[in-house]
Structure 1
Amino acid sequence: MLPGSTLTVALAAVASSLVLAACERETETAAAPTPRPVRTITVVKRETGTPLTFTGRIEAEDEVSVAFRISGRLLANDTKLGDRVKAGQVLAQLESQNEMNGLRQAQAALAAAQGQLTQARNHFDRQQTLLAQGWTTQANFDVASKAQQTAQSQVDAAEAQLKSAHDLVSFTELQADAPGVITATGPRAGEVVQAGQMIARIARQDGRDAVFDVPAQLIRSASPNPQITVRLTDDPKVTAQGRIREVAEQANPVTRTFEVKVGLTDPPAAMRLGATVVGQVQTNAGPMIEIPSTALTRMNQQPAVWIVDPSTGTASVRNVDVSRFDEAQAVISQGLDTGEIVVTAGVQALHPGQKVRVLGSGP
């Protein structure tokens, strides 16, 4: 048997060894954290474009507001929304007493000027005859000639004033310059209107547009000169084809969208002015990468995604360019390649170089 002191020393040594072994096992356990579980997808490219739909309205291709050229009090205005008008049809009238008085004054002024011209011509003819016979002087003849020219100028001025007076009288009637449909009306009879104030708006019957408010990114993603299918919202069987005719140069200050006018080819009669329609257009059919929107995060104030390295099982973050985004999916234009593994769930809890475990795979 070992002496008591020797036994005590041996037991202490064994205990120290056990403590050191336990510490080493704890250190090894702390150094090997459990991989974080994540969900992923493998990047693939699609070769077909995505159809985009947006809601709009039917408007006239050519719509004009008509107004009086002069101010006055409305005597009559019987225009109603939806009325069909013909070219030359009277739409409204102003009280014309002042203009008629001006016309009569101009007629009287012309008559007086014509009388003076007749008198000046007779005097000129007499002076011309007397000068030829030697009974008058050259100075008298020159005075008569000048008086005739002055009288002729006064007649010309009076005729111009009479024409202007006739125009003012005609301006008291507002006529349609082309056939069409009334789409808006202005002041009614009895109101005083100013020159240029809208009395009615006419949609001329020479074309129909489908008008949409479109985000800038959809304009960029659409094919050049795309064929657009337009359908009535209340009857999708009523369709028409069209192409973009005009894109607004400036965005709406409230919605930040651009007004796009689509010229329709032979639109059916059911597509009346103001009808609500749905337009569908195909985006560019180039290769696209789509990922769930939950995969997006941010790095350096730019969109980014987490990439899983299959050889090491670690995650790294990478910036990407997003060409289109909605609540479900994001279209990536640059930053990803086919076959790469992108984290779609758990992106907020990752850090660079972290070990991950794809859910559904082995530990």
Structure 2
Amino acid sequence: MHFPAFVLRPSGAAAQPRNRARSGVFLWPRAAAGLAVALALAGCSRQEAAPEPVRAVKLVTVGAHAAPAPREYAGEVRARVESRLSFRVAGKIVQRPVEAGQHVRAGQLLAELDARDYELAAQAARAQVAAASTQRDLAAAEFERFSRLHAQNFISGAELDRRQAALKSAQAQLAQAQAQLAAQGNQAGYTRLLADAPGVVTGVDAEVGQVVAAGTPVVRIARDGERDAVFAVPEDRVAGLRVGQPVQVAPWAGGPPLAGKVREVAASADPVTRTFAVKVALQGAEPPPLGATVQVRLADQAAPAAAAPLRVPAAAVWQDAGRSAVWVFDPASSTVRAQPVQLARLEGDEVLLAGGLADGAQVVAAGVHVLAPGQKVTVYQPKTPQALTNKGPAAMNPEAPTPAPGAAR
């Protein structure tokens, strides 16, 4: 009879596995609760804010260009007197012996009309003069004869008065016929267009064979003599011009500058360009040729720097609680501060200041709406191709890997 063998184990050894399992079951909930508490505490803690980025700004020095530069305008040389000559009668042009650019003398033929109709009218007027002259001679002879008869008391005084009235009527008719002959002679003479003064033909507006009306421009003549430089100024500059103002005129093709004075300022603006025409009388023995381009500089518009208003770019001005202000750069601390300013007026892309800034102050010219008082900034330095070349390929390609120290290149 066999009995199974029994192995005696310590009581503590048999219970150890079950105690471990129980201890694991009870420890996991405690660990999870502790982790949750730690995460909750971490979420409630305040994270530090990221530091404010140091922005790069562009600066402009106030007063560096405070005095406005002398204004320069492009002008054209023209004759003081330029005439558009035309016929005083209508007709067909039969010849035009002059061309543009040709110099003509006084009395030279410029163009001629077909004058046959006007010559016929002049002949008819001469015939009327001859008839009226005959009637006048007859009336004069009768008056003389009746005067002798009246002296001998053969006729009455009334008859003599009638003969005298007939003589006066014949004389009046003769005078009328002579006036008509003179008018018709002038009409025939008007078919020849003559230059009334020496000058240069600057343009031709009619050709041979063209039928023109009386007063239609045919030839343009620029008379010899004084010359003007004509240029246009915008309406915001015309108030600074006055008659007699000294002007310097420099030929665009080169040569010594000429002195001049403002002779005329247009009273109204051009309806198309909205500019005002200004004429400057040139002074000098040899002015530039007609039509030459010149640079006109108003000599007395440059004011002293102390009297000129300070200027800042329009992009540098911003609104601070309803007031205009600019950011002033402090080079010692590399920070900016808001400075209220008083505006005078706007000129182009610049603002003229009436006060608030001192000459020589440095203000931010771009990016004014992203700054805050006391913010640190850096002065923007534009990158040049030479600087990028000196830095090597890594500067041209930011993604290129940086070689390790000591690695072969």
Q: Is the 8 A contact 1:40 1:343 kept in 2?
A: yes
Over 3 Å counting, the alpha-carbon distance change for 1:225 and 1:21 in structure 2 is: farther
Over 3 Å counting, the alpha-carbon distance change for 1:201 and 1:48 in structure 2 is: same
Determine whether 1:251 maps to 2:272.
Answer: no
CA deviations on 1:293-352 (whole Å, 9 max, x unpaired) are: 36445769x996525497x964266562346335xxx361534442566331212435xx
Determine whether 1:97 maps to 2:116.
Answer: yes
Return the offset for 1:221: 4.8
Give me the whole-angstrom Cα distance separating, in 2, the residues matched to 1:100 and 1:221: 58
Give me the whole-angstrom Cα distance separating, in 1, the residues matched to 2:346 and 2:204: 44
Q: Is the 8 A contact 1:208 1:267 kept in 2?
A: no
Q: Is the 8 A contact 2:67 2:309 kept in 1?
A: no
Per the alignment, residue 203 of structure 2 pairs with 184
Over 3 Å counting, the alpha-carbon distance change for 1:305 and 1:268 in structure 2 is: farther
Per the alignment, residue 313 of structure 2 pairs with 293
Determine whether 1:315 maps to 2:333.
Answer: no
Give me the whole-angstrom Cα distance separating, in 1, the residues matched to 2:285 and 2:312: 39
Give me the whole-angstrom Cα distance separating, in 1, the residues matched to 2:281 and 2:182: 42
Return the offset for 1:99: 0.7
Return the offset for 1:44: 3.4
Q: Is the 8 A contact 2:66 2:309 kept in 1?
A: no
Q: Is the 8 A contact 2:78 2:228 kept in 1?
A: yes
Q: Give the secondary-structure state (helix, strand or coil) at the position aligned to 2:263.
A: strand
Give me the whole-angstrom Cα distance separating, in 2, the residues matched to 1:246 and 1:214: 13
Q: Give the secondary-structure state (helix, strand or coil) at the position aligned to 2:365.
A: strand
Write 1 or 2 for the structure with the bigger share of strand.
1
Per the alignment, residue 366 of structure 2 pairs with 345
Over 3 Å counting, the alpha-carbon distance change for 1:304 and 1:217 in structure 2 is: farther
Give me the whole-angstrom Cα distance separating, in 1, the residues matched to 2:54 and 2:280: 55
Give me the whole-angstrom Cα distance separating, in 2, the residues matched to 1:201 and 1:354: 68
Aligned positions, number? 335
Identity of aligned pairs, percent? 32
Over 3 Å counting, the alpha-carbon distance change for 1:296 and 1:128 in structure 2 is: farther
Give me the whole-angstrom Cα distance separating, in 2, the residues matched to 1:299 and 1:62: 55
Determine whether 1:140 maps to 2:163.
Answer: no
Give me the whole-angstrom Cα distance separating, in 1, the residues matched to 2:182 and 2:273: 51
Return the offset for 1:185: 0.6
Determine whether 1:233 maps to 2:252.
Answer: yes
Q: Is the 8 A contact 2:243 2:261 kept in 1?
A: no
Letter in 1 for 2:201: I
Q: CA RMSD in A?
A: 3.6
Per the alignment, residue 12 of structure 2 pairs with none
Paired residues for 1:136-175 under 5 Å: 136-175=155-194
Q: Is the 8 A contact 1:289 1:331 kept in 2?
A: no
Q: Give the secondary-structure state (helix, strand or coil) at the position aligned to 1:359.
A: strand
1:260 aligns with one of 273, 278, 288: 278
Determine whether 1:120 maps to 2:143.
Answer: no
Over 3 Å counting, the alpha-carbon distance change for 1:316 and 1:290 in structure 2 is: closer
Q: Is the 8 A contact 2:344 2:352 kept in 1?
A: yes
Give me the whole-angstrom Cα distance separating, in 2, the residues matched to 1:88 and 1:358: 79
Structure with more relative contact order (C-alpha pairs < 8 Å, separation 6 or more): 1
Q: Give the secondary-structure state (helix, strand or coil) at the position aligned to 2:208.
A: coil
Q: Give the secondary-structure state (helix, strand or coil) at the position aligned to 1:320.
A: strand
Return the offset for 1:138: 2.1
Over 3 Å counting, the alpha-carbon distance change for 1:298 and 1:96 in structure 2 is: farther
Q: Is the 8 A contact 1:238 1:268 kept in 2?
A: no
Moved over 6 A (4+): 18-21, 32-37
Q: Is the 8 A contact 1:87 1:178 kept in 2?
A: yes
Give me the whole-angstrom Cα distance separating, in 2, the residues matched to 1:303 and 1:189: 71
Q: Is the 8 A contact 1:323 1:333 kept in 2?
A: no
Return the offset for 1:127: 1.6
Per the alignment, residue 213 of structure 2 pairs with 194
Give me the whole-angstrom Cα distance separating, in 2, the residues matched to 1:37 and 1:246: 51
Q: Which runs of 5+ in 1 are unaligned?
A: 1-10
Return the offset for 1:288: 2.2
Over 3 Å counting, the alpha-carbon distance change for 1:348 and 1:317 in structure 2 is: farther
Q: Is the 8 A contact 1:222 1:284 kept in 2?
A: no
Q: Which runs of 5+ in 2 are unaligned?
A: 1-33, 380-409
Over 3 Å counting, the alpha-carbon distance change for 1:348 and 1:170 in structure 2 is: farther
